[in-house]
Amino acid sequence: MFRGKQTRVLLLNDMERLECTLFRLEQGFELQFHLGPTLQGKSVHVHTNYPAPGKKFVSSSFRQLEWVNPSGREDDSDKYCKLDLEIAGSYQYYFGHEERTGGGFIVVDPVLRIGHERKILPLDCITVQTYLAKCLGPLDEWLDRLRVAKETGYNMIHFTPLQKLGASRSCYSIADQLELNPDFSPPGKNNTWMDVGNLTEKIKKEWNMLCITDVVFNHTAANSKWIRHHPECGYNLVNSPYLKPAWLLDRALWHFSCAIILRGLLWTEVFSQLKLWEFLQVNVEKAVEQFRKVLQAGECLLLEGKPKLKVIQDSQYRRLSNTVDMQLALEMFGRHTNGPKSIQECCDWFKKSLEELNVECYKEMHSHHEKAINCIVGTVCYERLAAHGPQLGPVTRTNPLVTRYFTFPFEDMTMEQENQLIQNPNDACHLLAHNGWVMGDDPLRNFAEPGSNVYLRRELVCWGDSVKLHYGVKPEDCPYLWAHMKKYTEITAKHFSGVRLDNCHSTPLHVAEAMLAAARVVRPNLYVIVELFTGSEQLDNLFVNRLGITSLVREAMSAGDSHEEGRLVYHFGGEPVGSFVQPNLRPLVPSIAHAMFLDVTHDNECPIQVRSVFDALPSTAIVSMACCASGSTRGYDELVPHQISEGSCYTEDWSNYWNPDALPSSVGEVNLQTGIMSGKLALNKLHQELAEKGFTQVYVDQLDADTVAVTRHCPTFKNPETHQYREHLDPMYIPGKIEEVILEARTVERNAESYVKDERFINGMLNFMVEIQNLFCGYSGYLSDMSEFVEEILFEKLTPGSVIAFRVSLDPNSQKVVGYLRTQLSQFNRLYKSGSLTDSNVPGILKIALDFLMSKLTLAELNVLLFRCDVEEEEDGGGCYNIPSWMPLKYGGLQGFVSVLSEIRPKNDLGHPFCDNLRQGDWMIDYVSSRLMNKGGALREVGKWFSAVFTYLEHIPRYLVPCYFDAIIVGAYATAVDAVFNQMSSFVQNGSTLVKQLALGSVQMCGVGRVPTLPPLSPELEDVPVRLNSVTKQEEQCCVSLAAGLPHFSTGIFRCWGRDTFIALRGLMLLTGRYLEARNIILAFAGTMHHGLIPNLLGQGVAARYDCCDAVWWWLQCIQDYCNIVPNSTDILMCPVSRMYPTDDSEAQPLWTVHDQPLYVVIQEAMQCHMQGIEFRERNAGPQIDHNMRDEGFNVEAKVNPETGFVYGGKRFNCGTWMDKMGESDKANNRGVPATPRDGSAVEIAGLSKSAVRWLMTMNENGNFPYSSVTIHRDGTEQSVSYKEWNQRIQENFERFFYVSEDPSDPNEQHPDLVHKKCIYKDSYGASSPWCDYQLRPNFTIAMVVAPELFTVQRAWKALEIVEKKLLGPLGMKTLDPDDLVYCGVYDNALDNDNYNYAKGFNYHQGPEWLWPVGYFLRAKLYFAKKMGQEKYNESVYLVKNVLSRLYTHLERSPWKGLPELTNENGQYCPFSCETQAWSIATVLETLYDL
C-alpha cells in the first residue's frame, strides 16, 4: 500500500518544557519544528543532539538546525527546521531566543530484522517468551529446549541474565558481568560469549526469531570477586560515612537475631544501647570551651535579623563530633563580654542552646527508630507469620530476624570489635550496602545517597545477595565500575538484538543513558524494554525519553477482571474501529509508551493459583488481540501450576524439550497437546498477522459481566468451579461477512493423573488441554434496516475457558462499493489507490475530475460552496446543518463540516455526536449534495458529483461512514480552496499559510444573496454580472457585496456598511486580485452619494442612512488604492456612475431611470460639498429609522476649517466616526447619548482627507484628474481653493494642533490642564467636550498609515511606543487608555442597569479590544521603524510577527475560520462580538502585504 513520506510537525512554544511528554517517531519520518505564537518574530535557535548526516551520536554534542521558509516572506507561520530521522534512539532538543526557554525529547523506534532476507519485524508483531536462563542447562541442549517457543509461534525469546551468578543463584544477582555462566558448559568444554552469539544468530536467521536478555546496572552479587578488589564501586562506610549509623543498627539487629522478638526488647536491647543519636549531636562541653576561647580573643559583630544556630554534620560521621558555626554563635551569644562574669553568662547561654539542639537531634533519631521498629515488625510478621508470606519459620543464622542491609566479609565478632572495625578504612571499605527497593519511593531519588535515611529507617526491601553500585555522577568518579559495566553492556549488545533493563526505576538515569548509548554504538537498532513501577505516566515518559526505551512491560495480571483487562487492550495500542484517515503531514501529538503486554511475567504469581486454569487461554487471547507487542513466560502455556521462581528453590529444574510425537504423560517433553500450546500457536500467528497486515484498529466490547468481545469471546477470571456463569448468551452481531472461523478453542479437562511436581523438570498440568475446532456456535447473515450486511452469531456451548476468533471482511457488495469509492478518492490522495476498483456503471458526473468542475465556479459561487452562515442560508429558505444532540454547524458550506472534522480527526473521536449522526442515517450527506443541487449552474454540477459519490457511501457499513465522509469532504474542500487561490493574486498564490487563510476571508465575506444588496450599476458599464430573477424572470444585476461581519451583519439591509466596506476593501479585494468586484462596489456606492457623503448603512441605497462623516473618506482612500494597485487603474475615473440621488433634494430614482456621471465628477462633488459645508437633516428623521437617537442627532454636519484645512463635523448627539455607540438604556439615562461622539476634527479623518487631497493634487498634475481646485460660494461670491493649497494647510497645521507636547508651556496647547498623556497625538481637535480630544485611543495610527508625511519621525515613534505599551492587547487594540476614568474592557450589550458608563454596552468603544486597528498600528510601526534605522526595524518586525502569530493561532482554532470584531480585555472572548469580521481580516492581510 502506498504510504508516502510521513511528516510530523512539532510546535515550539516559549517556556514549554516537555521532558515528561513522549513523542514517538519511526525511522524515515521527517520531523519539522515550527514556531508557536509566543516565538514567532523572535530570532529563535533550535538545537538537537540528533547527529548530522555522517556523524556519530554524542549525547552532549548539540548542533543548531537551519531554518527553512518556503514562502520566504511576510510572517513565520510556515517557517520550520527539520530532522530526517534515520537512527533509532532518544534525542534531545532545546530552543530559545537569547537563552534556553524550552525543550524536550523525541524517541525514534528501532527497526528489527529477522531471517536471511532481513525481513522487518514490526514492533506490534512481537510475541516474546521469557526463559529463566539458569533452567536451560548446557548450551548445546538449548536449541531443543528453545524450539518450544518456535513451535508455539513466538518470534522473540527473552533470557534472564546469562552471566555467572552469585552465591544465592538468583537470576539477577550476577557475580561476574563479563563471564558466561559456567553451568552452560558441559564437562570438558568451556563455552564463550561467541558461542552464545552464534546461537542467537542462528535463531535469528533460521528460526526468524530475535533474542534479547537482561542487563543489570544497579547491583552486583555480594560475593563478586571484583568488588572485593574494588570496594569503591559500592556504597561503603569510607566513601559513604553517613551510612555508619545504619550499619551499626544492622549489625546490632544481627546480634539480636538470637533473642526473642518483642517490640520492647528492640528499644531496650538495640536502640537504647546503640545511642545512634550521638551521630547527630554536638559535644556540648567541647563546643562551649571552644566558644569561650573565641570570646576571650576579641569582640564580635552584631547580626541583623533572627539567626538560628544549626548543627554542622561531621563529614566522617563520628559520634559527638558535629560542630556549629562559631562566627554565628559569637554574633548570637557574644554581645556582652565586658568581663569574666559576662563571658560565663554568654557561655551558659550558648550551652543551653547546644543542649536544645541536641534534644532536637535526639528527637529526630527517635523518629527514625520508631519507623525502623515498625518496618522490622512488619517484615517479621510478613516473612514468618502471614499466610501469603514465605513463612520462614524460626530465626536462625541462615534466616536471621531481618535481612542484612550490609555485607560483612569477616569472621563473627562482638559489637565492640565491630565498632573498632569501622575506624579502619581498609576494613570499613568492605562493609558494602545491599540493594533493594523502597515502596512508594521517588524513582528519581537514589536512596543510598546523602540525605536519604532509608537504611537507617529500615525502609528498604533488601536483596541480601546484591551490593548496590556507586557510580557517582561521571566516569571519573569511579573509573573501574564505569569501564567494567560498559564492557558488559557492549558484550550484551553484540550478541543480542535487545535488552531488558532490570530494576530500571532504581538505576541512576545518567548511568543507564551512558550504558545504552554505548550499546547503540554496537547495535544501532537496539530493542530496549523495561518494567517500571513509578505509578505515573509522566514519570514513565521521563524514563522512556531519557533512555530511548522502545517498549514498557505491561501485565495482564494487574487487571482484576475481564472488563479491566479489556480496557488495557484498548489503552495500550490501536485506534478505534472506523478511525479517520490521517494526513501524511500532521501535528506531532504526545504518545503513550509502546507496550509489551504480557499475560504473565516471570515475577508474577502463578495465574492458575491466583485465578483458575480456565483463565489461561482467554487471558492470553485478550493479550494477543492488543495492537502492541505481546508475550508470556515459559511455563504459562504448559499450565505449570506454580511460579517458576528465579530464586534458589528451583535451581535444578530444567526446561522441557520439544517432541512433536511425545505422549501427554511424557516427562521432560512437550508438544501441541500440552496445556494450551495449540491455542497459543494459533493466537501468536493471529497476533503477528494482524500487525503485519495493518490491522491497527481495536474495539473492545463487554458483552456481559463474564464475556468480553475483541473480535472473539472470552470469560472472566472467576473460577468456574465456584462462579455461576450464564448458560445461554445473547446473540452477537458483527457487521460484515464472516470469511472463516480462525480459531474455536476451549479449555477442557481430560483423563490424566492429577498434577505432581517433577523434581527435575518444570512440568505442567496434564489433566487439562485445549480442544480445537469443536464447533460451538452458528451464524447467518442478513441485511439490516440500513442496508448493512450483518452476521448474527448464536452460541451453543460456550464454556468457561473458551476463545473464538473470526476473520471478518466486508460483504462482497460492500467490498466493491468501497473499491469504487476509493477510486474516486484517489484523485485527492494516492493512498486510496490501494484497494480501488473500477465501476463499470460509474455515473457520468464521476468521470469528470472534481478540480475541473470546481474550476468553473466563480469566487461568488465558491462562497456558497465553502461558507455562508446560518442567517445567509435562511435567506434562501434553508439553514446550516443541525445535529440535534449537539448544535448547528457554523456554515452551510464545506467549511462548516471541515471545522468539526479537523477537531475530531486527530483524536479519532468517533464517539462525537457528529460521527453518531453520520452512522445513524444519511441526513448529513443528503444535506451536502441537495443544498448545492438546488443552486443551479456550475454549483449544481458540483452537487451532482457529491450526490453520486455519496451514493457509494450509503452502501458501506455504517461504522465506516465517518471515515469515508471525512475523506470526501476534506478532499473536496482542498480542491475548492485550490480553485479559490487560482483566481487570486500572486501575493496570495505565493503567500504563506497565514496569507492564504486570511485570503479565504475574502470568499467568506464576499457573496451574492437572494436579493441584490448593492444598488444597480450603470447599464453602460461593461462586465457587470447578471442573473435571471426567479420571481420576475427578468435579468438583474448580481454584483458581489461585502458583509461587515458574521453572523450579525451578513444579510438584508444590515449586510453592507459604507465605512466597513471601504476599510476592508483594500485587504479583502484589491490585495487578493478581485479587481472587477472591487470596481463594482466602488461605483455602486458612488451612485448613492447624497449631500457629498456616501451611506453609513447602505440599505440597498433606497434605505440608506447618511449619518457618518468618515465613510466618504474611506471610499476615496479605496479609489486611490485601486488606482495604485490595479493595472490600467485610472480608467475607473471615467467609469459611468448611475446616480440614485441626482440632487440633494431628490428621492431615490427608479431602477430604469438613468442619471450617469463619470466617477471623477462624483469625486469632485464630494470634495466641493465638504469645502462648501454640509448641513442637512436625515430623511424620515425620527424613531422610524432610529428609536435610540435624540432629535438633534438627525442633524448632520461636515465642513472644512478654512484656516487649518481640517474636516470637522458632527455634534454631541450624533456619532460621525467608527466609534458610533449610541446609548440605549433608560435605567442608566444614557438613551440617545453617544458614548464617543468624537465631534470636531477626528484624527483619522484628518489623515484620510490629507491623503485624498494630496492624491487628487498629484493626479491633476499628471493629467489624470481634470480638477485642480474646488469652487465654493460664500458670502455671495465664488471662491476657489486649490488642492495644493488645501494640502499645504493640513500639512502645516496638523502637528501644531494634534500633537500633545511634553513641554507644558507649548504655545499651541490650548488646554494644558487636560493633558494626562504627553508625546501622543490627540484623538480629535475641537471637540465639544475638550477633554475628549486628549483621550489616548488608537485612531492616530490610521492617519500615520494613510498620510505619514504629517508626522515628525521622532514624535511618531514615541507616540507609537506609548500606544504599544498602553493599548496593544493579545489580539486587538484597546479602544481607550486603561488609565482613563471611564475605561471598561468588558463589553456586555445585554447588561441593563443604572451604570451610565456600562449599561447596554455603552462602553463598546471605551476599552474593549478591537482587531481592525491593530493592522494600522503594526503598519505604522513598520513604516516609522524603517525611518528610525535597522535596529528599530528589526525589533518592530519581531513585534509584528509576534502579534501575527497570535492572530494566526486564533484563526487556526476558530471554527469560523476568521478574526473576530473585538475581544474583551486581555484578549478574552466576547460573546457579543461578530465571530468573524471583514475589516479585522483585511487590515491584518494589509500588514502582511507591507511585510
Residues involved in catalysis? 502, 505, 603
Task: Give CA–CA dist 1256/1264, Å, rounded.
Answer: 9
Q: For residue 1478, which of 1226, 1218, 1207 has the smallest C-alpha distance? A: 1218
Task: Give CA–CA dist 1062/1114, Å, rounded.
Answer: 5
> What sign does the CA torsion over 349, 351, 354, 356 have?
negative
Residue with cell 497570535: 1446
The contacts of residue 975 (CB under 8 Å, 6+ apart) are: 828, 850, 851, 854
SS3 readout for 1208-1264: EECCCCCCCCCCCCECCCCCCCCCCCECCCCCEEEHHHHHHHHHHHHHHHHHHHCCC
Cα 966 to the center of its chain, rounded Å: 22
Q: Are 1206 and 1290 in contact (CB under 8 A)?
A: yes
Q: In the structure grid, which three cell numbers stand for residue 337, read together?
A: 563580654
Tell me the backbone φ, ψ of residue 60, rounded to 5 degrees: -90, 0
**Cis, bond preceding 390 (omega within 30 deg of 0):** no
DSSP string across 842-875: --GGGGS-HHHHHHT--HHHHHHHH---HHHHHH
DSSP string across 1123-1182: HHHSTTGGGGGGSEEE-S-SSTTPPPPPTT---EEEHHHHHHHHHHHHHH-EEEE-TT-S
DSSP string across 765-821: -TTEEEEES---EEEEEEE-TTS-EEEEEEES---TTEEEEEEEE--HHHHHHHHHH
Q: In the structure grid, which three cell numbers stand for residue 1291, read together?
A: 500639512
Strands (E), 628-689: 629-633, 657-658, 669-670
C-alpha distances in Å from residue 601, one per residue of 556, 611, 635, 1421: 9, 15, 10, 66
Task: Give CA–CA dist 620/1414, Å, rounded.
Answer: 63
Task: Give CA–CA dist 1046/1039, Å, rounded.
Answer: 19
Neighbour tally for 816: CB within 10 Å: 15
- Return contacts of 322-326, CB within 8 angstroms, 24+ apart: 322/280, 322/281, 322/282, 322/283, 323/282, 323/287, 324/282, 324/287, 324/354, 324/357, 326/290, 326/291, 326/294
Which residue type occupies 1404? Y
Hey, is 1049 helix, strand or coil?
strand
Task: Give CA–CA dist 1279/1171, Å, rounded.
Answer: 10
C-alpha distances in Å from residue 454, one per residue of 216, 247, 439, 458, 536: 22, 12, 11, 6, 22
**Residues facing 219 on adjacent strands:** 468
Give me the helices (H) in 410-505, please: 415-421, 425-428, 479-495
Task: Give CA–CA dist 1402/828, Å, rounded.
Answer: 51
DSSP string across 451-468: T--TTTTT-EEEEEEEEE
The residue count for the chain: 1491
Cβ burial, residue 1050 (10 Å; 0-12/13-18/19+): buried
Cβ burial, residue 263 (10 Å; 0-12/13-18/19+): exposed
Q: Are 1058 and 1096 in contact (CB under 8 A)?
A: yes
How many Å from the N-terminal Cα to the C-terminal Cα in the chain?
Answer: 44
